[in-house]
Structure 1
Amino acid sequence: MTNADVHTLTGAYVLHALSEAERAAFERHLGVCEACTQEVAELAATAGRLGLAVSETPPPELKARVMGRIPNVRQESPLPKQPSRAGGNPAWSLRASRWALAACLAAAAGLGGVAVWQHEEARDARAEAGAEQRRSAELAAVLGAPDAKADTARLGDGASATVVVSKSRDKAAFVSSGLATPPSGKVYQLWFADGDTMRPAGLLDPASRAQAVLLDGPVDQASGMGITVEPAGGSPKPTSAPVALMNFPA
């Protein structure tokens, strides 16, 4: 990956379409490139807004159809490598493939996401995948709810966050971009703000700087949310000053 190539990876990074090595290299680049950091923040916020407009919950029978077909779908053997066309540009082909993958991921995210697993891994992954699928569907339902309201805030150091609340579903979603990696052994924890009481609402993935999550539990009477840095695994009550506090949109 050349210096010129790394600036083209902002979209693929936001859509989690990079390999582990590429992601690590790009996050090092974000530490020294203000333009890419800003672009990542804007793309992540845009993705959240697009989710509000186009997300759909898959019909209940779709999961049954997918799960029913898994044992009967034969895994294809890897295709032999095709020789490149004369005069072709390998670097451009790599970028084109990456962006084609990113486009597919964006379409899947907009429709709520449907996971497909290899036959060898399906049995062990079904329980976990089923839970993740339900959570993804619920996240999409909140983002696409007719009464969903969103508010975006800058958190400093180029980070941004958007909170989306649906009163009809009594749920809230959190979309972040550019959050600094927490210290080793620490994690960002989300909280519902119930007056002066902070109620646990889930953890962020410390390895990802851009993500969208559904807050754990109902909104209930909460008027806002907070983010703190906690020991890995989370805490029953905040043990540090809030990194950010956000009011829920009225």
Structure 2
Amino acid sequence: MSSDIHALSGAYAVDALDDIERAQFERHLDECPTCRSEVDSLREASGVLAEAAFVAPPAALRDRVLAGIETVRPLPPLVSPVVSLATERRKRRFPALVAAAAVITLIGTGVAATQPWQDETTQFSLSAADRVLQASDAETWTKSPVTGGTIKVTRSRSLNQAVIEAKGLAKLPDDKTYALWLQHDGIMVPAGLMTDEGAVAVVLDGDPGTAEATAVSIEPAGGSKHPTTFPIATFEFEQV
């Protein structure tokens, strides 16, 4: 067993090791408090995901939404910090769905929708993400967290911006959210929040150009000042 035994904590937390690897890793746990803490955090995250439950919308939802489209005036779209790529395509083809999104939110069905009239000071447009993704100096890292799905980070030093793209993330309960972080001088600082709805692309807040790393963790709804659980994915940036 090499020094990479530390990397087995995720597989151990979800019981994905064979008998020999498990025995060797458990002996390692007796001597490594860092790995013990990581295993505990990953198991806690897995437990949180197991508590999430899908709630079907009311049967009358479709009728109320269709009726509401006739009475709700769509406002000019602003920009959005967390954009569902699938929703964006639908909005371009069917402008009337902007009004439908408002009705869905107002009648409270548990269905989340991005509202184009939110405070524009907290919004980022999809085009901002596209500029980073298409930058000539874009650097990309991809990981598959043990909790499921895929997370990709793209950073452009010339733009001093970074984008986190996620697909297939596990559904979280209402009191939890995916939080984004940037690390400066060994300290993680908040860099935004991310939904678990389909495919999303989020432009990070802060200064990714000088950051040492970025990470994603599961936090209480609304976010935290500092990570309260072990990150499900961490990306170390190359330093110049």
TM-score where L is the length of structure 1: 0.48
- Normalised to the residue count of structure 2, the TM-score between the two structures is 0.49
Higher helix share: 1
